[in-house]
Amino acid sequence: MIQQIKYYEKLEEFLNSSLQSHQVLHINLSYNQIDDKAASSLGSALVNCTNLSNLTLNLGANKIGEMGASSLSSALSNCINLSNLTLQIYCNKIGAMGASALGSALANCTNISNLSLNLGGNKIGGKGASDLGSALANCTKLQNLALSLYINQIDAMGAQGLGSALANCTNLSTLRLELDDNQIGAVGASGLGSALANCTNLSNLTLSIFGNQIGATGASGLGSALANCPKISNLSLNLIDNQIGSMGTSGLGSALVNCPNISNLSLNLRNNFIGEMGASDLGSAIANCTHLSNLILSLLYNGMNESFIKLKVKRQCFKSKRLVFFEINFQ
């Protein structure tokens, strides 16, 4: 039986709908001046959606604070039949307490297998990130997770705590983690990688940590940790603007050689001062990735003779016997 999808873009229309009839629900209230009071009303209505299995809720760019987030959290914790949830609360003011409350609520949604959560631009800090991760570790059926926590003042401890918690999501196979424009640094990047290495069933990983000043040590440490992820076959790393330099690039490349099952790799190293030596070392390392079939490499703004190094890296990469698709970008 095909479930009917209900769409709402006005809060009042949803509040006045037949709440118990909803099974698949899409609510888009982004840029709607939604404050704590309105969020509380929304939460009170969601509590009555007792048959809800799929929910997409967009509350981005509103005025929701800790109280509003707590009200929504209380409602979501009662949606025990949810299996698919997309929740966007980016650019609000929920803070660490709001993020912790949301995490605790989601931990009660024991049937969730697919979760997309965008809390970017909410100043949740390291504590909020760690608490959120610890709560999500209780979602035992979680298989696919997209977690966007960009611009949230997350430090090294927060990144490590988040990673360690996610390592307890034993059924997680696909992870998209965005920590752009935070302050995780080298320690946070290495610790995050080491924690993710314990996600034993992870096969698809997209990790975006641009603008975090991880440096050469962080890039090498991250790579070494990911080399211990035995099942990863699809890997996308966005390390734009991290000052990793030629040594960090060489270390990252050497580590990726030891990732035994990677077949699809996307690596964005734009604006990292890697130079011609770093690019050349990276190309030599990638040539030894024995299972690699698809490669996308972005090296824009890295202080090198682009035409020369592009040709050189291409020649090196094509030494990989299984490589069937290769794209290198300097634009």
Percent of the chain with pLDDT over 90: 71
Q: Name the least confident of 73-77, 97-101, 280-284, 315-319.
A: 315-319
How many whole angstroms separate alpha carbon 13 and alpha carbon 175? 35
Average pLDDT, integer, range 59-87: 95
Q: Which tokens sit at 81?
A: 């039949």
3-state secondary structure 3-26: CCEEEECCHHHHHCCCHHHCCEEE
Q: What is the pLDDT of residues 183-199, one digit of tens each?
A: 999 999 999 999 988 88
Cα 239 to Cα 1, 72, 115, 271: the distances in Å are 45, 34, 24, 9
DSSP letter string over 305-319? -HHHHHHHHHHHHTT
Strand partners for 25: 6, 55
Give all strands (DSSP E) within the chain, no chain letters: 5-8, 24-28, 54-58, 84-88, 114-118, 144-148, 174-178, 204-208, 234-238, 264-268, 294-298, 325-329
Element (H, E) at 226: helix 215-226
CATH of region 1-145, choose from 3.30.1490.20, 3.80.10.10, 3.90.1170.50, 3.40.50.720: 3.80.10.10
How many whole angstroms separate alpha carbon 292 and alpha carbon 325? 9
Give ∠ CA 88-93-97 in degrees, rounded to 5: 95
Residues 6+ apart with CB under 8 A from 185: 155, 156, 212, 213, 214, 215, 218
Q: What is the pLDDT of residues 294-311, one digit of tens each?
A: 999 999 888 877 676 666
Mean pLDDT value across the chain? 92
Residues 6+ apart with CB under 8 A from 48: 19, 20
Same CATH fold assignment for domains 1-145 and 184-331? yes
Statement: 184-331 belongs to CATH 3.80.10.10? yes
CA 68 to chain CA centroid, Å, is 24
Ranges of each domain in the chain: 1-145, 184-331
Phi first, then psi, for residue 33 (nearest 5°) are: 60, 30
Q: What is the pLDDT of residue 2?
A: 57
Average pLDDT, integer, range 280-306: 87
pTM: 0.95
DSSP letter string over 182-204? SB-HHHHHHHHHHHHTT-TT--E
Q: Which tokens sit at 285?
A: 């390392």
Q: What is the pLDDT of residues 211-269, one digit of tens each?
A: 999 999 999 999 999 888 878 999 999 999 999 999 999 999 999 888 878 999 999 99
Q: What is the pLDDT of residue 318?
A: 65
Categorize the per-residue pLDDT at 331 as very low, low, confident or very high, splitting at 50, 70 and 90.
low
